[in-house]
A and B are shown apart, each in its own frame.
Chain A
Amino acid sequence: MEALLDIHRLSVEFNTARGRVHALRDVSISVPKGKVVGIVGESGSGKSTLVWAVMRLLAGNSIVADGKITFRGEDVLSFDESALREFRGESVSMVFQDPMTSQIPVLDYRRQMTDILYRRKGLSRQEKIRMAARFMNRVGIPDADDRLRHFPHQFSGGMRQRAGIAMALLMDPALLIADEPTTALDVTMEAQIIHLIREAQTDFGATVMVISHNLGLIAELCDKVVVMYAGEVVEQGDVKDIFFNAHHPYTQALLECDPSHDLKQERHFPTIPGDVPDLHGTPKGCVFAQRCRHASDICQYKRPGEYPIAGGHASDAHAARCHRYDPGGVWKELPKSETPKASTRIDVHVERDAPPLLEIKDLRVRFPVMGRVRALASGISDPHVDAVAGVSLAIRTGETLGLVGESGSGKTTLARAVLGLNRVHSGSIRFRKEELVGLPENTYKKMRRDIAMMFQDPVGSLSPRQTVGQLLSEPLIIHGERDLPLRDAAEKLCDMVSLPRNFLSRYPHELSGGQARRVGVARALALSPALVIADEPTAGLDVSVQGEVLNLMIELQALHGLSYLIISHNLPVIRQVSDILAIMYLGRIVEYGACSQVFEKPAHPYSEALVRGTPRPDPSRRRKLVSIEGEVPSLTNRPGGCEFHPRCPYATDRCRKEQPSPTRLVDGRTVLCHFPLAG
């Protein structure tokens, strides 16, 4: 197999104030022509550094310490300025993680795309514009001529990424590098972008390198997979070998941790204990040794080589960097230490007959979208949107309600309205039968002891100039419990979320995502609430850490009889933790019912799209088609009839004209659809 790009024993180091960081060590990867190669790894694995090293766009404080990068037989590291320009854009092109920040905000797409075509000296300006329009059409942007005059901020997230792909393909590159291409996007958009990249690969005959932490996406898209950990390649091989016959303990653990891997509702998540090692200085031994459940003595002091694994799928050699596969090695399996027992399902007592703890009825939250002057000038009489448009739901004591939806569905707005952080327009929110809507802040304050919220960003939701100790004792101070020995209380909270007590003097920016999330959990539970609202509790966390946080939340629920309202776009996670599921679209709940039922037989076409749309870490189950097209419409422009009809594969005339009302199915679910798919 001819390699288009060959990375040979590449080592990259960064100079920092605290010394040298070994960001990449001894990385060898070959990218065969015409294939899709996936680089997978958690944060700190060095996968992005690898990309920028190939592009020769590393930050100024970095040094390529060793190794070679060969592209079509040419040495990339020795390219001069003009050779580099030709290499970038002409031979290699990129799709970026965040299209919002990687497209210049002050130039329209026409200008951006004709600028990329500057090398095509033979083309007139008109021809370049036509070519740009053709590529915009090609990636599924209609009315390209018109759209080319738009600026990035006028596009939706999905459209921006499509335009980004159009720009990357414009010069017909031999190698396309996609750096986390769907991380900034929603589930339904993700499926479309994966589809688009795969199409581009077949149509243009391009070779693709995809960087992602998303195992589902890698399984769905790639032929060959490279697993990275702490700056090293720990295992690589054919996609089937990696997903079905993983050899390296890290790969195995990583696959196990992925929540979509497990379809049973276990309420217990596998984790990889420990942290990514500090890359200052040269680590001895295997980089994964500290977290490896198989680690032997030799792993601590001797660095393993990349050993071939026999019986791999044809195309590429399957290899793992682990002493266990050293043919001439002295590997001794140690007696297995106690691994945490899987499948310790914790049951929570739910009082089925008791009145609901929280009951929301017909809730409406409105936001102004423009100033009065602008609205007047545009002839709009009511410049408001309903971010939450008539939502009803109920949570009982000990129950977990999962609220699912894409961005713009109103799920976060709903949660914040419960806490009085967003103004309610109409409807009612009752907590223990007491109405919360319209309550003045001083009465509301008493309620805040019983309703706690965990915010999305683990680090960003902690006040940056306060120590962990101050943060943990603050809820107590606010609620007037100054007499308590605050230090003791904070220490107790630390113990509860198994955070070392010496963390009390640290600042949020000194914490890892998982540690910060623990502080968030502890803060939420400081006043022993009855209801915890968790907004994307796993956002920003690596899969190996996600499990720890979810396990902790589940344990605490059982211990304190908590009720949860968990908001997430991550269906596999929601599936594992929820009793009741509510799926939101454009501010309305389109399906509401028992979690297991919704996942088994979704009744609303949108639920179906979400459930089936999540890529699975299973390369043998690749979907041929994208389930739903298009994007979530803007709230200012709600479609008539059923609001989902423009994207619904089953839409009929009735759907286009008539707005459905909630229908109750025999199994107790409520669906907002004229033609429910189940029940």
Chain B
Amino acid sequence: MLIYIVKRIGLAVLIILLAVLALFVMLHSIPGDPVSIALGPRATPEIQAAYAAKMNLDKPLFTQFLIFLGNVLTGDLGTDVFSNRSVAKTLLGQLPYTISLAVASLGWAVALGIPMGCISATKPNGWLDRITGLVSIGTIAVPSFLVSIWAILVFAIHLNIFPVIGAGDQGDLADMALHLVLPSFAVGLGWVGYLARMVRASMLEVMGENYIRSARAFGLTTQTIIYRYALRVAILPTITLIGVGFGGLLSGTVFAEIIFARPGIGKVIYDMVLNRNFPVVQGAVMMTVALYAVVTLASDIIVSILDPRVRESL
């Protein structure tokens, strides 16, 4: 178990390192002067020179990478050359907004999707299954950014029920929660259907396994068989899926933050892309990569706790 976790963490670190390398390569493999590309046309020569010195662009490429890597590992994501503020600080201030949105969306999706999947799988092709099937297909079919747009259309313009702009008053938890409703709905909606389909499919697969039939032959109650045996196994691929699909969820939060004008990493990236402020974009990308690595790590560890077979693999 311990060995598994240690190896898994090692893998996560390795992937983050490779991601950093990939970003570095991306930046340096682009034809043209890295300074003007990185800073965009708005940068003055002074800023460009400062940037070149800052980024050690005068040194050999490999040295540059090592310095870059060292900085990233010590949490130094560089300095925003336009505002002269630390990128890491800027981003860390935004991180809680993104995380709370992601967690709220996922919370929604899990709370609705998993029970829906279970209900469907209990009586496949029954009327409840058909209804949940239609609902989940419906939710999958509408991409999250479209949900955001349409939610604004319906709730902000026509009904005016939920607040649609910003994250609410700092410190006013109720207001912040209220501001979270629509964005998290938009991000999580597709996941409801996705999870419901996933749980249904793996439940049905598990229900066909020999050990479910033997549990029935031992006269265990339907409750035990479905919720303690089948769900216990069927949930494993779902947890892995949540981990892997978290990247997609982060893509969704980017759209939600932009459309609902919420603060967050996604909004920062978007604004900085428009400003062509690459150092900040780069820092933000690295932060999402790290976030994704942490979430997949967590999902893998949860699976390994629930499934003894996994611990002995890797």
B238 to chain A minimum Cβ distance, whole angstroms, is 14
The answer to whether residues A374 and B210 also contact, given A88-B219, A105-B309, A167-B218 and a CB cut-off of 8 A, is: no
| Nearest residue, chain B, Cβ from A93 | B218
Give chain A residues whose Cβ lies under 8 Å from the Cβ of B233. Answer: 104-106
| Nearest residue, chain B, Cβ from A111 | B228
Please, how many angstroms separate the alpha-carbon atoms of A87 and B211 in the complex?
18
Interface band, chain B: 20 to 34
Interface band, chain A: 35 or more
Give chain A residues whose Cβ lies under 8 Å from the Cβ of B306. Answer: 106
Give chain A residues whose Cβ lies under 8 Å from the Cβ of B307. Answer: 105-106
B225-261: CB near A (< 8 Å → 1, else 0) gives: 0001100110010000000000000000000000000
A102 on the B face (CB < 8 A): yes
B74 on the A face (CB < 8 A): no
B29 on the A face (CB < 8 A): no
Give chain B residues whose Cβ lies under 8 Å from the Cβ of A87. Answer: 219
A272 on the B face (CB < 8 A): no
Please, how many angstroms separate the alpha-carbon atoms of A93 and B224 in the complex?
18
Interface of B, helix, strand, loop or mixed by DSSP: helix
Q: B218 contacts A116, CB within 8 Å?
A: yes
B217 on the A face (CB < 8 A): yes
Please, how many angstroms separate the alpha-carbon atoms of A196 and B221 in the complex?
29
| Nearest residue, chain B, Cβ from A86 | B219
Q: B3 contacts A374, CB within 8 Å?
A: yes
Please, how many angstroms separate the alpha-carbon atoms of A652 and B102 in the complex?
68
Give chain A residues whose Cβ lies under 8 Å from the Cβ of B312. Answer: 153
Q: B218 contacts A57, CB within 8 Å?
A: no
Give chain A residues whose Cβ lies under 8 Å from the Cβ of B210. Answer: 96, 98, 101-102
- Chain A residues numbered 358-373 whose CB sits less than 8 Å from any CB in chain B: 371, 373
Please, how many angstroms separate the alpha-carbon atoms of A153 and B313 in the complex?
12
Please, how many angstroms separate the alpha-carbon atoms of A4 and B308 in the complex?
41
Give chain A residues whose Cβ lies under 8 Å from the Cβ of B308. Answer: 105-106, 108, 151, 153-154
Give chain B residues whose Cβ lies under 8 Å from the Cβ of A93. Answer: 217-218
Q: A103 contacts B214, CB within 8 Å?
A: yes
The answer to whether residues A104 and B3 also contact, given A94-B217, A167-B218 and a CB cut-off of 8 A, is: no
The answer to whether residues A88 and B211 also contact, given A105-B233, A107-B232 and a CB cut-off of 8 A, is: no
Please, how many angstroms separate the alpha-carbon atoms of A81 and B221 in the complex?
9
B220 on the A face (CB < 8 A): yes
A17 on the B face (CB < 8 A): no
Please, how many angstroms separate the alpha-carbon atoms of A154 and B311 in the complex?
12
Give chain A residues whose Cβ lies under 8 Å from the Cβ of B89. Answer: none
Q: A57 contacts B219, CB within 8 Å?
A: no
Give chain B residues whose Cβ lies under 8 Å from the Cβ of A171. Answer: 218-219
Interface of A, helix, strand, loop or mixed by DSSP: helix
- Chain A residues numbered 66-107 whose CB sits less than 8 Å from any CB in chain B: 81, 84-90, 93-94, 96, 98, 101-107
8 Å CB contact of A104 from B215, B217, B314:
B215
A653 on the B face (CB < 8 A): no
The answer to whether residues A57 and B213 also contact, given A106-B233, A115-B220, A118-B220 and a CB cut-off of 8 A, is: yes
- Chain B residues numbered 270-314 whose CB sits less than 8 Å from any CB in chain A: 306-309, 312, 314
Q: A106 contacts B219, CB within 8 Å?
A: no
Give chain A residues whose Cβ lies under 8 Å from the Cβ of B229. Answer: 104, 107
> Which of B211, B220, B221, B232 has its CB near the most chain A CB atoms (within 10 A)?
B211
A55 on the B face (CB < 8 A): yes
Please, how many angstroms separate the alpha-carbon atoms of A339 and B7 in the complex?
67
| Nearest residue, chain A, Cβ from B7 | A373
Please, how many angstroms separate the alpha-carbon atoms of A105 and B312 in the complex?
13
> Which of A81, A105, A108 has its CB near the most chain B CB atoms (within 10 A)?
A105
A116 to chain B minimum Cβ distance, whole angstroms, is 5
Give chain B residues whose Cβ lies under 8 Å from the Cβ of A98. Answer: 210
The answer to whether residues A102 and B232 also contact, given A118-B220, A153-B309, A374-B3 and a CB cut-off of 8 A, is: no
The answer to whether residues A88 and B3 also contact, given A104-B229, A153-B308, A153-B309 and a CB cut-off of 8 A, is: no
A377 on the B face (CB < 8 A): yes
B96-110: CB near A (< 8 Å → 1, else 0) gives: 000000000000000
Given contacts A104-B211, A151-B308, 9 further A-B contacts (CB under 8 A): A88-B217, A89-B219, A101-B211, A102-B210, A103-B211, A107-B229, A118-B220, A118-B224, A371-B314
7 A-B pairs within 8 Å (CB atoms) are namely A85-B219, A89-B218, A106-B232, A151-B308, A153-B308, A171-B218, A373-B7
